[in-house]
Amino acid sequence: MTAMTSSARPLLNRRLAEFGTTIFAEMSALAVRTGAINLGQGFPDTDGPEEVREAAVRALRDGRGNQYPPGPGIPELRTAVAAHQQRRYGLSVDPDTEVLVTAGATEAIAAAMLALVEPGDEVIALEPYYDSYAACVAMAGGTRVPVTLRPHEGRFRLDLDELRDAVTDRTRLLLINTPHNPTGTVLTREELAAIAELAVERDLLVVTDEVYEHLVFDDAEHIPLATFPGMRDRTVTISSAGKTFSFTGWKVGWITASPALITAVRSAKQFLTYVSAGPFQYAIAEALALPESYFEDLRADMLTKRDVLAAGLEDAGLTVHRPSGTYFITADIRPLGETDGIAFCRALPERTGVVAVPTAVFYDHRELGAPFVRFAFCKKKPVLEEAARRLKAAGTR
Ligand SMILES: Cc1ncc(COP(=O)(O)O)c(C=O)c1O
């Protein structure tokens, strides 16, 4: 940032000074310039179900949602979200007072931070973290306190003692993400129970980002934090249609929480976008009511893709931490004799024709994330196979 006003003050608000261009923009530009396969940014290369697209077209044509929808979201979508929470997790949510539709999970996170965090408050988040968390905590004037997930027996694991030790008198909330981007960790029942106990004991709010709730593999199970004792009224649960229905461009997300928390978050949200995605809200209401087979097929398809990419990365000589959830694999580049993921990812497109993202950018403790690189596997199988072939052909072993 070089542009200055006459008073030589930087144009960008100092709270945001550390947040320049995101790594995704840099890596996607590299992908375009080099013609590389972009496994950096996490968007599917296949659109979601035809009937859901048709539902959006119908809504547009019928004039549903073409003008401002209601502030909390259209009743049909709020009802569908509540029905989903009930059917899937046994959580009773009142569609009128306990659901808020947002412009993707991104706005939900921003509104939650702006509503609940004040300058001086500390927000504990699991490191490495999704990049908008740090920016949103900063915009709210809060201080982020990272608790690092560390690789242990093939999985990035939360150290519960470290989490407990991170809580201070200034801690306002725990910002949890499960299934976790970028590590692919799905927090276990025991870990979630310990987080819940801590939140109750220290009277903390919890914001939990569960956008990958339907992408869990093997024996892993997604359990919403709000289902644990004492959590119902202190938890803001965030999800979104982007990942579950492969419509990341529609930006339909939602929050479920107690009426008091919804009211607080809505106070911030109404001055961000007020409302968004009118016709798409109708389509996602229909999507949430798709039969169980849709969700099973999504998971099975993603599992196959995970295994194709994981095998390819292993074949190319990287150590793979096989994810139990999300559509990302975090791989360790040290077996290739490399230690700096940022340099590795900058060179990778020219060297191999594949783009990945260095996980270090999601850490405050950059040194802990240095050897890790994230690859997205929400791409067509032949694309993943070709990426694997290129990585191997680049010849590191
Ligand atoms: C953990 C996590 N939270 C939130 C989001 C943003 O979701 P949306 O596209 O619905 O705003 C993403 C997208 O990558 C994500 O990975």
Per-residue model confidence (pLDDT) at position 397: 46
Per-residue model confidence (pLDDT) at position 159: 97
Judge whether 168 and 345 are in contact, CB under 8 Å. Answer: no
Q: Which residues of 324-352 are buried (b: 16+ CB within 10 A; e: fewer)?
A: bbbbbbbbbbeebebeebbebbeebbebb
Q: Are residues 368 and 284 in the same domain?
A: no
CB count, 10 Å around CB of 103?
21
Residue 7 lies in a domain: no
* Ligand 1 pocket test, candidate residues 43, 101, 187, 240, most atoms within 8 A of CB: 240
Per-residue model confidence (pLDDT) at position 6: 59
Q: Report the Cα 347 to chain-centroid distance in Å.
A: 26
Q: Is the CB of 105 under 6 A from ligand 1?
A: yes
Q: Which of 266, 290, 314 is the last residue of a domain?
A: 290
Residue type, 118: E
Per-residue model confidence (pLDDT) at position 41: 85
Per-residue model confidence (pLDDT) at position 25: 83
Per-residue model confidence (pLDDT) at position 53: 98
> Which segments in the chain show pLDDT lower than 50?
1, 397
CA distance 121 to 362: 21
Residue 6 lies in a domain: no
pLDDT in tens, 9-66: 889 888 998 887 777 788 888 888 999 999 998 899 999 999 999 999 999 999 999 9
Residue 8 lies in a domain: no
Q: Is the CB of 213 under 6 A from ligand 1?
A: no
Query: Is the omega angle on the peptide bond into residue 182 within 30 degrees of 0, that is, cis?
Result: yes
Residue 256 lies in a domain: yes
Per-residue model confidence (pLDDT) at position 4: 52
Q: Are residues 250 and 309 in the same domain?
A: no
Domain harbouring 168, CATH code: 3.40.640.10
- Ligand 1 centre from 175 Cα, in Å? 14
Q: What is the pTM of this model?
A: 0.96
Q: Total structural domains in the chain?
A: 2
Residue 208 lies in a domain: yes
Residue 5 lies in a domain: no
Residue 37 lies in a domain: yes
Per-residue model confidence (pLDDT) at position 111: 98
- DSSP structure class, residue 2: -
